[in-house]
Amino acid sequence: MDIRIDRNDERPLYIQLADSIREMVLQGSLLPGQRLPTVRALFHKTGLSDGTIRHAYEHLAREGVLTLVQGSGTFVSHEPRGNRSKEIRAMAAIDRMLEELEGLGMTLREIQLYINVKMSHRKDSRPLVRLACVDESSEMLNELALQLSTLPGVELTEYLLQDVRRAPIQLLGSFPLVVTTLANHPELLALMGEQREKVLCVALAPEPGTLIALARLPLDSRIGIYCRSKRFREIVLRELALVPGFDVAAVKDVRPKVSAALKDLLQGLDVLLVAPDYLTYADDQSQEQLSCFVKRGGRLIPCRHRLDQGSRMVLEQKILELRG
Span 174-199, pLDDT tens digits: 999 999 999 999 999 999 999 999 99
> Given pLDDT bands bounded at 50, 70 and 90, which one contains residue 298?
very high
What was the pLDDT predicted at 283?
A: 83
Q: Which residue has the higher pLDDT, 222 or 263?
A: 222
pLDDT at 267 over 80: yes
**Cα–Cα nearest to 155, from 121, 192, 182:** 121
Tell me the mean pLDDT in the region 278-300: 88
Q: How far apart are CA 15 and CA 97, in angstroms?
A: 11
Cα angle, residue 207 at apex, residues 152 and 289 outer, rounded to 5°: 110
The length of the chain in residues reads 324
Q: Is 86 left (phi over 0), alpha (psi -120 to 50) or beta?
A: alpha
CATH topology of domain 108-205+308-323: Rossmann fold (3.40.50)
Confidence check: pLDDT of 225 > 60: yes
Q: Please say whether the beta carbons of 52 and 60 come within 8 A.
A: no
Please state the rounded mean pLDDT for residues 97-125: 80
- Domain positions in the chain are 13-100, 108-205+308-323, 208-303
Per-residue pLDDT at 81 exceeds 50: no
Q: Is the pLDDT of residue 245 over 70?
A: yes
Whole-number pLDDT of residue 121: 66
Residue 58 pLDDT > 60: yes
Q: In this predicted structure, what is the pLDDT of residue 82?
A: 45
Name the nearest CA neighbour of 48 among 23, 76, 14, 25: 14
The answer to whether 13-100 and 108-205+308-323 have equal CATH topology is no
**CB-based burial label for 189 (10 Å; 0-12, 13-18, 19+):** middle
- How far is the C-alpha of 12 from the C-alpha of 150, rounded, in Å? 25
Answer whether residue 247 shows pLDDT above 60.
yes
When pLDDT is averaged across residues 240-262 and rounded to a whole number, the result is 81
Segment 255-274 mean pLDDT: 83
| Model pLDDT for residues 152-167, shown as the tens digit of each residue | 888 999 999 999 999 9
Q: What is the mean pLDDT of the chain?
A: 87
Question: Confidence band (pLDDT; 50, 70, 90) for 254?
Answer: confident
CATH of 13-100, one of 1.10.10.10, 1.10.3260.10, 2.60.40.3470, 2.60.120.260: 1.10.10.10
**In this structure, which amino acid lies at residue 305?**
H
Which of 21-25, 129-133, 178-182 is the least confident region? 21-25
pLDDT given at position 124: 65
* Domain 208-303 of CATH type 3.40.50: yes
Distances (CA, A) of 246 to 218, 224, 258, 318: 9, 13, 29, 40
Is residue 279 within 8 A of residue 307, CB to CB? The reply is no
Asked if residue 44 has pLDDT above 80, the reply is yes
The pLDDT value recorded for residue 96 is 81
Residue 126 has pLDDT above 80, yes or no: no
Integer CA distances (angstroms), 283 to 8, 15, 52, 258, 288, in order: 9, 13, 11, 10, 9
pTM of the model: 0.61
pLDDT score for 83: 47
Average pLDDT over residues 311-319: 92
